[in-house]
Amino acid sequence: QVRLVMKAHSFIRENVPRVLSSVKDKSGTVHIPRISQYLYFLFAPTLIYRDNYPRNPTIRWGYVATKFAQVLGSLFYAYYIFVRLCIPQFRNSSQETFNLRGLVLCIFNSILPGVLILFLVFFAFLHCWLNAFAEMLRFADRMFYK
């Protein structure tokens, strides 16, 4: 939801000044973006609205499949971390009476799995998922540093 709010803010910030300036100049042509441009912007991995973005000529479907396979692998790895490291920790703590020592041990034993899950989420979403959609949309601006 935060991402969609940021995209809506960018869309409004880029288009309202154009519309207001054309109304102030009393010109007959008001450039309003098409729905297809807005939909492309919603799915493109960028937070800055433009009417046109650089596009690749073709889609590399092997690259897309590899990225989705990496997302799937990340999900299985996160499941493995939960099953092997998190669930046994909390299963034992639910049977014991509450004390501060048990709470602190449970928190410290959950730090490493939590950090691993956090890295997996960042890798799966920010790298794999967004690059797969960028490739399917032929979004070429991600090749900036090449």
pLDDT at 146: 61
More confident residue, 53 or 122: 122
CB–CB of 132/64 below 8 Å? yes
Q: Which of 76-80, 97-101, 134-138 has the highest mean pLDDT?
A: 76-80
Place of tokens 């809506």: 8
Instruction: Output the pLDDT for position 88.
Output: 82
Structure tokens at 35: 């729905």
Dihedral of CA 144/129/3/58: which sign? positive
pTM of the model: 0.73
The residue-averaged pLDDT of 51-75 equals 94
